[in-house]
Amino acid sequence: MSGPADLLPHLRGRVLIATHATPDGDAAGSAFGLAALVRALGGAPTCVFPRLPRVFDYLRPGHDVVERAPADAAFDAVFVVDCGSASQVADGPESLPAAPVLAVIDHHRTREPFGALEWVDAGASATGVLVGELAQAAGVVFDAALARPLWCAILTDTGSFHYSSTDGRTLRLGAALLDGGADPWEATQSIYESHEPERQRLLGLCLGTLDLRHGGKVAALHITREMAAAAGASMELSSGFINYARSIAGVEIAFLARQDEEIEDLWRVAFRSRGTHPVDSLAARFDGGGHRNAAGCRITGQLSEVVERVFAAAAGLVADAGLVEDLP
């Protein structure tokens, strides 16, 4: 296991920074924050995002962002942030250019190591916390360029400081980020209060699919490509919809099945739990992974059979925990 001291020497040259295929606020914020740190240390960072949700565009200015790793460029190091396995690297691990060092900074509990250097701390509420601590270890004082993306990372991965992963370590870093120029309202407006009307229409259709079973302890939602087309929305606009299922009184486990935009019988299933149920182990039954309270996987099949399989697996989990006596 590596730590900040092992990583710092590799941040001073040409550094490519990558993350997973569907970047959330922690992935985007950690990548842009690490890029700002590389620049502060005198290096030349490039961030690769095949797709970056629009809500994180406010972090782009001033950064060298590419959709594909440039084939003709030489890098001194490749850093992958907030990514638990090689298979989750955007466009696959083979898309990463060869470099003297492949380093990983991550906080996922369920993971498969793939970097030559790996700094993994599952006790960190966000990968952005680790990037912030890396900057502190380097003696770099937070300025707005560093603080704004790292604020995005900790804000989003703690569910706006709602989740129990929110700890003193997170808030101590948060205080330093605010002192350094992070702007909470800028982040809130950009990430949570700039929805397109199409997103709200898709939310309406999605909520209409609510399916509650196992004594109201397991809730399902789904979105088909047809629904997305009817709303005029892309699938990525459904980020966060699953929380509406979990927020129902009595629901212990929620899942949202989203149809892949290209492969008709491929479903991307996201899981959330309230706390007692490790949904990463549920996702792992379908070759996925994630965190105890938030995980995901991909399942192939017809929608109805995918939903039945997940309900069956989830029933086992709530029953194992002794919470359901009257399973159907």
Interacting residues with Mn ion (CB under 5 A): 26, 82, 127, 157
**Closest Cα partner for 215 from 123, 321, 296?**
321
Closest contact distance (angstroms) between CB of 152 and Mn ion is: 11
* Pick 152 or 313: Cβ nearer Mn ion: 152
* Pick 84 or 180: Cβ nearer Mn ion: 84
Residue with structure tokens 């019988």?
A: 265
Closest contact distance (angstroms) between CB of 78 and Mn ion is: 19
* Pick 118 or 157: Cβ nearer Mn ion: 157
Closest contact distance (angstroms) between CB of 126 and Mn ion is: 5
Closest contact distance (angstroms) between CB of 39 and Mn ion is: 22
Q: DSSP code of 60?
A: -
* Pick 82 or 252: Cβ nearer Mn ion: 82
* Pick 127 or 239: Cβ nearer Mn ion: 127
Closest contact distance (angstroms) between CB of 243 and Mn ion is: 16
Residue length of the chain? 328
Q: Is the dihedral of CA 247, 185, 17, 108 positive or negative?
A: negative
Distance CA 319, CA 47 (A): 44
* Pick 39 or 291: Cβ nearer Mn ion: 291
How are beta strands 253-259 and 218-223 bridged, if at all?
parallel
**Closest Cα partner for 285 from 316, 251, 245?**
316
Compute the chain's Rg from CA coordinates.
20
Partners of 289 in the β-ladder: 296
Instruction: Report which residue's Cβ sits closest to Mn ion.
Output: 26
Map residue 128 onto helix, strand or coil: helix
Tokens of residue 187, six digits: 């982040």
| Cα end-to-end span (Å), the chain | 46
Closest contact distance (angstroms) between CB of 25 and Mn ion is: 8
Tokens of residue 58, six digits: 């406010």
Closest contact distance (angstroms) between CB of 165 and Mn ion is: 10
Which run of H or of E encompasses 258? strand 253-259
Amino acid at 82: D
* Pick 26 or 118: Cβ nearer Mn ion: 26
